[in-house]
Structure 1
Amino acid sequence: MFFTGVSVVGTVFMAIQYVAYAGWSVLIKRVNEALSAWVLPGGVLMVLIFGLGLINNDIFHWTLPGIMTKGSATYDAIIAGKSGFLSVPFYLIRTISYVVIWVVFTNKLRSLSLAEDLNGGTEYFHKSITASALFLVLFAVTSSMSAWDWVMSIDTHWFSTMFGWYVFASWWVSGIAATTLCVIFLKQAGYLRFVQAGHLHDLGKFMFGFSIFWTYVWFAQFMLIWYANLPEESVYYNQRLGGFNNQYTWIFFFNLLINFAFPFLVLMTRDAKRQMIMLKIVSIAILIGHWFDFYLMIMPATMQAENGFIIEIGTAMVFLGSFLLLITKRLSQASLIPIHHPFLDESVHHTT
């Protein structure tokens, strides 16, 4: 889920730049397109994994046999009250719909971009704006609903009206960090020679700003639940902060340290946002930190005290290798500079 979110942010970032008529980001556009290469295989894997989880009843508590049947030994009135939304067929339809929408618009923007390179003109640029506007509206809905389905429904009794924003914030800042890291590696390898300190500065500002935004959503959600201290709400944080013999407590505090305190302090100055070494360190930290963020969202409710940790790290490395393989393959399939983009000259001469 983490890598799929990072990947779709490549499409979202590109769509926002189109709708905003932004010129500064044209030189890094192909990096966004490369990141989005994982959307299709990642989405297919998500459907398969969650599909198997629904069959085996080992991810979602609400799939246990009889849990929505009155009179059953496993009957749960609260979960039964959500039966209209938490049904296996409807869940699979929603999950497949999210993936299809993301894949269709990712492929559409990529094909328009390549056609623009081949034929020139502004026709493809305007078509990209239209497709981007429609995609952003659909993504605003599907990103929140996917957070409810894929993560929040694991803790079936618990809910938060801020959870869609929370997951999006984690995805978004991770996607910006991945984009920044790719741009820096390409720049240091001799590619993207027109990318200057101004472009890196803007990416650094995005990471800095949205690390604060993620913290704002995190604190707003945590503070309200902690202050109210209602058992049906606080159970979520009780599991992660002191529950299961404090197994997740260190991750809880590490999450705040690496995802807020570290990027906030390191990227506070203007110079830091323009230095490749500083941006590289912070980008890696953010990607590691938000992988732990998703780990903390999912593992206490699914594995409780039985998590292997080393197994999860190994699995993440397999996904990372596959993710990088597709990104590098996508980068090699087209020019790294969109030569016929109408705002290319503005991007080349961009300064901050």
Structure 2
Amino acid sequence: MITQNNFDKPFVFTGKAKIWSFIMIAIGIAGVLYGFLSGSGERTFSNLLLMGYYFVSVCIFGVCFCAVQYISQAGWSASILRIPQVLVKLLPAASVILLVIISAGIFTTHSGKNEAGATTILPYLYKLWALKGVTTPGNVNYDPIIAGKSIYLNLPLFFVRMVAYLTVYSIMGRLLVKYSVNEDKIGGVFNYKKSFTLSAAFIAVFGFTVPLFVFDTIMSLEAHWFSTLFGWYNLLGFLATGFTVITLIIIYLKEAGYLPWVNENHLHTLGIQIFGFSIFWTYLWFEQFLLMYYSNLPEEAVYFYKRWEPEFNFWFWLNMTINFCGPFFVLMSRDSKRKVKVMKATCFLLIGGHWLDYWLMIMPGTTGPQSHWYTEIGVIEGSVFIGFTGLFIYMLLNSLSKFKALAPKNHPFLQESLSLHI
């Protein structure tokens, strides 16, 4: 039986983790400066958008995870709820970072060629629809396709939507954390019932708005193209990546002497989730790709045509190989999901794999091909990734240390989680 004292042991954020997070942040800052000073502003902004989106997607997963556990009345996850709740607490800050990146990318301009090949002034991000004169007939930037979408794709409404999505997700997520903390203080099921009701409302709101959030943030970078599957495809990326991240956090805490109640059965269950959502992600990847490839309609196939250029083709197939073959061949067996080293290696692989997936969504439509496939990913990509990883680690562990207990000790299903056996 797990004692009360085990739950009351708070996490202490000191030592190597804090030092390394600062070093990684410094590398990221240096990489961003190098990118702008070397004249690669568009490439730098694209990488900042990629990592800002990645950061937010993992934090949104935290809210989604908590909500699903409450409305399904799941017991297995009760003892690990503090981990996704930490991601929830980071969502407001991650949202601000993403909005700052998007705003800076739109309102900072440079000279370049528009879609018609004319030299003009372009924003660094969303250059197809956010540049001036794109909806004005006779203007050098006029684009009839974008003009037809301008009721939806215009700057005021774009920012209203982005702020609304992230604000609603953040508020509802923070309320779930608040109810859980209150539950620790007063016990009973009053706060659990409130969490259940709020979770049902969140899932309804989230289901309708997350495709729109994805359309605005990523798909509108290539606003001539659209896919009704794109939002759901990204949602599965959120879920696969989110489970990977919380699994790594749990393994780290276990190795540091925390979470003694978490055992191989919890790890197995997390492995099942990673495996399942990775396969579902693959299904949507293939469905979107196959239908557009087979139809061979120019307005649809152009998206994949760009990604089959020699500079991107290798990365295109590597993306599929990592994110499907990795979990499929490694996590298929029962034993592999119960081994810490195997799970840790798989999680690191998938974090890199889904970074590559986001990279392929963004780079071909923003910076376009550089010179060779092996030069497409370089110093800027690596340093920005390292910098955001350091920032994420620092913010996450610092926020985790604020919890007085590493498990919701008055959760009504806690005992079920502690005795989990599969």
The bucket for the TM-score relative to the shorter chain is over 0.9
**1:172 Cα deviation from its structure 2 partner:** 1.0
Which region of structure 1 is more displaced relative to structure 2, 52-61 or 107-116? 52-61
Q: 1:343 aligns with which of 405, 413, 417?
A: 413
- 1:207 matches 2:274: yes
In 2, are the aligned partners of 1:180 and 1:283 still within 8 Å (CA)?
yes
Q: 1:219 aligns with which of 268, 286, 294?
A: 286
Counterparts in 2 of 1:188 and 1:48: CA distance versus 1, 3 Å: same
Counterparts in 2 of 1:98 and 1:309: CA distance versus 1, 3 Å: farther
Instruction: Give the equivalent residue in structure 1 for 2:157.
Output: 90
**1:230 Cα deviation from its structure 2 partner:** 1.1
The aligned amino acid for 2:223 is: T
Q: Using the alignment, how far apart are the partners of 1:319 and 1:94 within structure 2?
A: 25
TM-score (norm 1): 0.97
Q: 2:384 aligns with which of 315, 329, 336?
A: 315
**1:53 Cα deviation from its structure 2 partner:** 2.4
The aligned amino acid for 2:327 is: P
TM-score (norm 2): 0.81
Partner SS state of residue 321, structure 1 = helix
Number of residue pairs the alignment of both structures matches: 349
- 1:305 matches 2:369: yes
**1:73 Cα deviation from its structure 2 partner:** 2.2
- 1:266 matches 2:330: yes
Instruction: Give the equivalent residue in structure 1 for 2:358.
Output: 294
The aligned amino acid for 2:329 is: L
Higher relative contact order (CA 8 A, sep 6+): 2
Q: Using the alignment, how far apart are the partners of 1:20 and 1:108 within structure 2?
A: 18
Which region of structure 1 is more displaced relative to structure 2, 299-308 or 75-84? 299-308
**1:25 Cα deviation from its structure 2 partner:** 0.2
Identity of aligned residues (%): 40
The aligned amino acid for 1:55 is: F
Q: Deviations over 1:160-207 (max 9, x none)?
A: 010000111111100000011111111222211111211111100000
Partner SS state of residue 190, structure 1 = coil
**1:129 Cα deviation from its structure 2 partner:** 0.7
Partner SS state of residue 63, structure 1 = coil
Largest Rg, 1 or 2: 2
**Which has a greater percent of helix?**
1
- 1:143 matches 2:210: yes
Q: Using the alignment, how far apart are the partners of 2:172 and 2:360 within structure 1?
A: 30
Instruction: Give the equivalent residue in structure 2 for 1:257.
Output: 321
Q: 1:112 aligns with which of 179, 195, 210?
A: 179
- Alpha-carbon RMSD: 1.1
- 1:39 matches 2:91: yes
Q: Using the alignment, how far apart are the partners of 2:399 and 2:185 within structure 1?
A: 17
Q: Using the alignment, how far apart are the partners of 2:66 and 2:378 within structure 1?
A: 34
Q: Deviations over 1:42-100 (max 9, x none)?
A: 10111111122232322111112211111222211111100100010000000000110
Partner SS state of residue 67, structure 2 = helix
Instruction: Give the equivalent residue in structure 2 for 1:55.
Output: 107
Instruction: Give the equivalent residue in structure 2 for 1:278.
Output: 342
Instruction: Give the equivalent residue in structure 2 for 1:238.
Output: 305
Partner SS state of residue 121, structure 1 = coil
In 2, are the aligned partners of 1:37 and 1:326 still within 8 Å (CA)?
no
Structure 1, unpaired ranges of 5+? none
Structure 2, unpaired ranges of 5+? 1-52, 109-122, 371-375
> 1:70-89 to 2 correspondence within 5 Å?
70-89=137-156
In 2, are the aligned partners of 1:200 and 1:274 still within 8 Å (CA)?
yes
**1:308 Cα deviation from its structure 2 partner:** 6.2
